[in-house]
């Protein structure tokens, strides 16, 4: 829409198309004024005076319209009028529109979002532009294309990478920068353990590092990763739900979510008085909801035959050793059921499936369902009555002491750059301290000894004694070294003290050795 | 001083009923460091006497190689304390040396360094309240000393440990 850029251009009335254009400009793509996609219509005039008389009339209530001089001062609305068909100018003046523009043409507005790219097992990954597109739009609705550069990553790029997303349409292009985090896929991650035996030191301590347990683990497609150790707590935890239920069927389905890494081993259940029955436990990852009648979704993880009720109001232990590992934050489902007979498996009415039934700091148990066997009729919400017996899996710092003598099972965790973790169990056998002794060197030519003090008759001696500056010989008498009060005081730590000095400290009643820095009562050590 | 001492010992080794009272002694080197009463060079050790009767009357600070159980021992606070972790099993050559030694006749000889009067029973008695034996030094004797004798004591300059040899294996002592 152009109504003459300069004073000598032809002036004309606005046409219907011009008005449509103005309306369009006012209302944007959605044809609703006042929304984010509105155009900006700019009418400017060079040379307008305040005495001009232009009237603008709107055909609706959208009055947010202003006209300014090229210098930016708004023209008094009394001096301009726009009707549905015509902009009227004061004929006393040579009016024209300097420029009439909308904000279009407009390139698309590129918007980025972070993206995580997993390397394939071959160690490469190619991303598409849509992966880092965070909602790119075009102001005037033109179709646009997206491209990203760089788009291919390898092991060398593990971590954060900056990429440029370019959005292009007929009006031009714009760019934004996205962070692509390249991670390992975990496809080639494997934990392989080896059992080791470790001796306590003279202080009764020993320490291992993850590598000590590694029997050839492969850590990720790119060889990156970390290893750490965990242990299963030696004492079991038990989370009780409740024991007040009176409703019966043959089993319960319920979800358990872990707040920290745990191993679920067994359950106590509630059985009718005098009942002896066989129990099966099924397991699946994720919730039971949706799988309550689909046996194929479940794995039979334990059976306990001839379980006799401990009494209606007492927990009946199943004494299982399922060893089901649940990572922190994960939800799993159990289906605990009689595998023969009807009724007798007792539980409570619930409030709503998925409500928290019971929790402690490590796990949460949710309201579930009563079940007829097997995977048959479902009654929900129903609440499992019993205890969940589990152990926590705790970080292990690698330190052992005399309380650990014997076999210890340590879990080696290998984690790749993508956060994938594989584990294996290693048996660490802790044995009593083995004193540090070393055999002598026996090959070569010994040094002769030339000097000796003796209190016995001698023959070829001391020449047949090896490696001594001084050989002492006696059958009854020893070498008596100097005895003194604290050598720290008697000799000090200054120039008088010489590395290798050995005295008997009559205060501390010990052999005291100067190591070049300090005097110390000697204790057993090891050269490596 | 070392040279003079050495000549005496080699020339008339059986005439050791002598009392030497001289300030400082060095063997295998030309000067004594610091407050050393008896100092040694580097590369060899000191062989403790092979004693078959570890006397219960010996003074604290007495060091021996006990041939009854082949251990280096120290008299500490009125008791013999093992410095060797285990009893040494001697090979034939070493066992022969020890048995020949035990056939010899004990004299009442001793040497006192640092005093004119003995205050303790020993073949070598170091007397001083402000001077000390400086152990002979060697880098990693368990790796470098060829065929050491039972009762060898030496300071390991690699590990900063005192090392004692029981005829079969080294035991190490430090802070």
From the CA of A149, how many Å to the nearest CA of chain B? 58
Residue A18 has φ and ψ, to the nearest 5°, of -60, -45
Q: What is the ipTM of this complex?
A: 0.89
Mean pLDDT of A323-335: 93
pLDDT band at B53 (very low <50, low <70, confident <90, very high): confident
**Nearest chain B Cα to A496, which residue?**
B34
Mean pLDDT of B14-43: 72
**Residue A16 pLDDT > 60, yes or no?**
no
Mean pLDDT of B108-129: 83
Mean pLDDT of A446-451: 84
Confidence (pLDDT) at B49: 94
Confidence (pLDDT) at A516: 93
Alpha carbon of A238 to those of A235, A326, B157: distances in Å? 10, 15, 57
Query: Which has more confidence, A472 or A16?
Result: A472
**Nearest chain B Cα to A526, which residue?**
B172
**Residue B84 pLDDT > 60, yes or no?**
yes
CB of A55 less than 8 A from some CB of B: no
Mean pLDDT of A324-329: 91
pLDDT band at A246 (very low <50, low <70, confident <90, very high): very high
Confidence (pLDDT) at A23: 53
Is it true that the peptide bond before A443 is cis, omega within 30 degrees of 0? no
Task: Identify the weakest region by mean pLDDT among A196-205, A206-215, A272-281, B144-153.
Answer: A196-205
Q: Are B138 and B43 in contact (CB under 8 A)?
A: yes
Residue in A435, A472, A491 nearest the CB of B49: A472
Query: Which has more confidence, A385 or A44?
Result: A385
pLDDT band at A298 (very low <50, low <70, confident <90, very high): very high
Q: What is the per-residue pLDDT across A201-245, written as a single tens digit (0 to 9) for each?
A: 877 889 999 999 999 888 777 776 789 999 999 899 999 999 999
Mean pLDDT of A458-464: 65
Contact A441 B64 (CB under 8 A): no
The DSSP symbol for A296 reads G
CB of A512 less than 8 A from some CB of B: no
Confidence (pLDDT) at A371: 96
Task: Identify the weakest region by mean pLDDT among A334-348, A444-458, B62-76, B122-136.
Answer: A444-458
Strands A478-480 and A483-484: unpaired
- Please work out, in degrees rounded to the nearest 5, the angle formed at the alpha carbon of residue B14 by the alpha carbons of B5 and B109: 90
The DSSP symbol for A219 reads -
d(CA A523, CA A126): 62
Confidence (pLDDT) at B101: 85
Q: Give B101's Cβ-side CA count (13 Å radius).
A: 28
**Residue A291 pLDDT > 50, yes or no?**
yes
Q: Are A88 and A79 in contact (CB under 8 A)?
A: no
| Polymer length in residues for chain A | 528
Alpha carbon of A29 to those of A38, A140, A167: distances in Å? 7, 7, 19
A residues 322-381 closer than 8 Å to B (CB) = none
Mean pLDDT of A481-506: 94
Is it true that the peptide bond before A495 is cis, omega within 30 degrees of 0? no
Residue in B9, B52, B77 nearest the CB of A452: B9
Q: Are A181 and A376 in contact (CB under 8 A)?
A: no
**Residue B165 pLDDT > 50, yes or no?**
yes
Residue in B126, B127, B146 nearest the CB of A444: B146
Query: Which chain B positions have a beta carbon within 8 Å of A442's beta carbon?
Result: 146-147
Contact A438 B158 (CB under 8 A): no
pLDDT band at A20 (very low <50, low <70, confident <90, very high): low
Task: Identify the weakest region by mean pLDDT among A75-84, A134-143, A247-256, A269-278.
Answer: A75-84
Is it true that the peptide bond before A462 is cis, omega within 30 degrees of 0? yes
Task: Identify the weakest region by mean pLDDT among A42-46, A244-248, B8-12.
Answer: B8-12
Query: If 0-12 CB within 10 Å is exposed, 13-18 middle and 19+ buried, where does residue B51 land?
Result: buried
Mean pLDDT of A74-91: 47
- Residues contacting A20, CB < 8 A, separation 6+: none
Contact A471 B157 (CB under 8 A): no
Contact A466 B62 (CB under 8 A): no
Confidence (pLDDT) at B29: 83
Contact A479 B123 (CB under 8 A): yes
A residues 85-124 closer than 8 Å to B (CB) = none
Confidence (pLDDT) at A527: 87
Confidence (pLDDT) at A418: 67
**Nearest chain A Cα to B123, which residue?**
A477
d(CA A137, CA A70): 31
Contact B129 A444 (CB under 8 A): no
Q: Which of A497, A462, A509, A460 is nearest to B151 (CA)?
A: A462
Residue B8 has φ and ψ, to the nearest 5°, of -60, -45
pLDDT band at A96 (very low <50, low <70, confident <90, very high): very low
CB of A442 less than 8 A from some CB of B: yes
Confidence (pLDDT) at A6: 45
Confidence (pLDDT) at A373: 93
Average model confidence (pLDDT) for chain A? 82
Query: Which has more confidence, A329 or A71?
Result: A329
Q: What sign has the CA pseudo-torsion B113, B117, B120, B121?
A: positive
Query: Which has more confidence, A519 or B17?
Result: A519
- Would you state the structure tokens that stand for residue A362, as one six-digit string? 């490590």
Mean pLDDT of B85-91: 93
Confidence (pLDDT) at A74: 53
Confidence (pLDDT) at A463: 64
Query: If 0-12 CB within 10 Å is exposed, 13-18 middle and 19+ buried, where does residue A161 land?
Result: middle
**Strands (DSSP E) found in chain B:** 25-27, 36-40, 45-47, 50-51, 62-66, 71-76, 79-82, 111-113, 122-126, 132-134, 137-138, 152-156, 161-165, 170-174
Query: Which chain B positions have a beta carbon within 8 Å of A508's beta carbon?
Result: none
Alpha carbon of A383 to those of A244, A295, A464, B38: distances in Å? 10, 21, 89, 86
Contact B85 A436 (CB under 8 A): yes
Mean pLDDT of B56-85: 95
d(CA A217, CA A509): 52
The percentage of residues in chain A with a pLDDT greater than 90, rounded to a whole number, is: 57
Mean pLDDT of A328-342: 93
Task: Identify the weakest region by mean pLDDT among A120-129, A374-383, B14-23.
Answer: B14-23
Mean pLDDT of B128-138: 94
**Residue A477 pLDDT > 50, yes or no?**
yes
- Would you state the structure tokens that stand for residue A466, as one six-digit string? 């090896």
B24-32 contacts, C-beta under 8 A, 24 or more apart: B24/B131, B25/B1, B25/B113, B26/B1, B26/B2, B27/A451, B27/A469, B27/A470, B27/B2, B28/A469, B28/B2, B28/B136, B29/B2, B30/B2, B32/B134
Confidence (pLDDT) at A192: 93
Contact B36 A498 (CB under 8 A): yes
Contact A501 B133 (CB under 8 A): yes
d(CA A279, CA A119): 44
**Nearest chain B Cα to A481, which residue?**
B126
Confidence (pLDDT) at A429: 94
Q: Give A370's Cβ-side CA count (13 Å radius).
A: 22
Inter-chain contacts counted by CB atoms under 8 A, chains A and B: 332
CB of A514 less than 8 A from some CB of B: yes
Is it true that the peptide bond before B61 is cis, omega within 30 degrees of 0? no
Residue in A502, A520, A527 nearest the CB of B132: A502
């Amino acid at each position: 829409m152009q109504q003459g850029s300069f004073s000598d251009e032809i002036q004309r009335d606005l046409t219907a198309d011009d008005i449509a254009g103005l309306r369009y400009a006012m209302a944007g793509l959605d044809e609703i004024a006042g929304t984010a996609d509105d155009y900006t219509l700019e009418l400017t005039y060079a040379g307008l005076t305040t005495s001009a008389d232009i009237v603008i009339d709107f055909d609706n209530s959208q009055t947010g319209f202003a006209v300014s001089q090229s210098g930016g001062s708004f023209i008094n609305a009394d001096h301009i009028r726009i009707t549905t068909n015509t902009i009227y100018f004061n004929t006393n003046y040579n009016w024209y529109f300097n420029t009439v523009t909308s904000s279009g043409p407009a390139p698309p507005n590129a918007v980025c979002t972070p993206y995580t790219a997993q390397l394939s097992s071959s160690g490469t990954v190619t991303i598409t532009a849509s992966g880092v597109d965070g909602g790119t739009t075009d102001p005037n609705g033109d179709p646009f294309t997206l491209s990203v550069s760089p788009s291919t990553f390898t092991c060398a790029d593990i971590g954060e990478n900056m990429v440029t997303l370019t959005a292009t349409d007929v009006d031009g292009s714009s760019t934004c920068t996205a962070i692509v985090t390249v991670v390992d896929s975990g496809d080639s991650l494997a934990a392989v353990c080896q059992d080791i035996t470790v001796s306590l030191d003279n202080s009764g301590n020993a320490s291992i590092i993850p590598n000590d347990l590694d029997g050839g683990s492969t850590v990720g497609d790119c060889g990156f990763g970390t290893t750490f150790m965990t242990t299963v707590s030696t004492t079991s935890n038990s989370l009780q739900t409740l024991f007040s239920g009176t409703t019966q069927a043959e089993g319960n389905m319920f979800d358990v979510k872990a707040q920290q890494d745990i191993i679920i081993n067994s359950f106590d259940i509630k059985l009718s008085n005098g009942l002896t029955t066989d129990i099966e436990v099924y397991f699946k990852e994720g919730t039971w909801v949706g799988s309550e009648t689909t046996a194929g979704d479940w794995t039979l993880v334990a059976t306990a035959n001839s379980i006799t009720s401990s009494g209606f109001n007492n927990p009946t232990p199943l004494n299982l050793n399922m060893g089901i590992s649940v990572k922190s934050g994960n939800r799993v489902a159990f289906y605990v059921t009689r595998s023969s007979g009807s009724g007798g498996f007792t539980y409570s009415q619930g409030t709503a499936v998925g409500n928290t039934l019971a929790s402690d700091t490590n796990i949460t148990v949710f309201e579930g369902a009563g079940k007829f066997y097997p995977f048959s009729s479902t009654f929900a919400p129903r609440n499992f009555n019993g205890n969940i017996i589990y152990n926590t899996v705790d970080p292990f710092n690698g330190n052992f002491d005399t309380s650990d003598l014997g076999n210890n099972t340590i879990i080696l965790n290998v984690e790749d750059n993508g956060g994938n973790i594989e584990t294996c169990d290693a048996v660490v056998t802790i044995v009593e301290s083995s004193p540090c002794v070393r055999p002598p060197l026996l090959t070569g030519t010994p040094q002769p000894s030339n000097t000796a003090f003796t209190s016995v008759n001698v023959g070829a001696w001391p020449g047949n004694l090896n490696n001594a500056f001084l050989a002492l010989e006696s059958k009854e008498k020893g070498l008596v070294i100097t005895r003194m009060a604290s050598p720290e005081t008697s000799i000090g730590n200054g120039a008088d003290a010489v590395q290798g000095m050995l005295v008997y400290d009559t205060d501390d009643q010990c052999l005291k050795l100067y190591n070049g820095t300090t005097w110390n009562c000697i204790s057993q050590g090891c050269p490596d | 001083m070392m040279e003079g001492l050495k000549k005496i010992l080699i020339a008339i080794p059986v005439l050791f009923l002598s009392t030497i009272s001289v300030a400082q002694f060095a063997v295998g080197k030309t000067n004594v460091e610091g407050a050393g009463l008896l100092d040694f060079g580097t590369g060899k050790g000191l062989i403790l006497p092979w004693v078959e009767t570890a006397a219960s009357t010996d003074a604290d600070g007495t060091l021996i190689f006990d041939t009854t159980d082949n251990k280096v021992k120290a008299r500490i606070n009125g008791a013999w304390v093992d410095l060797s972790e285990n009893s040494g099993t001697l090979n034939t050559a070493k066992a022969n040396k020890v048995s020949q030694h035990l056939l010899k006749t004990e004299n009442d000889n001793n040497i006192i360094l640092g005093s004119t009067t003995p205050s303790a029973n020993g073949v070598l008695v170091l007397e001083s309240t402000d001077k000390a034996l400086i152990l002979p030094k060697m880098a990693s004797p368990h790796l470098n000393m060829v065929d050491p004798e039972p009762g060898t004591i030496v300071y390991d300059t690699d590990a900063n440990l005192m090392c004692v040899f029981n005829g079969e294996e080294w035991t190490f002592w430090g802070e």
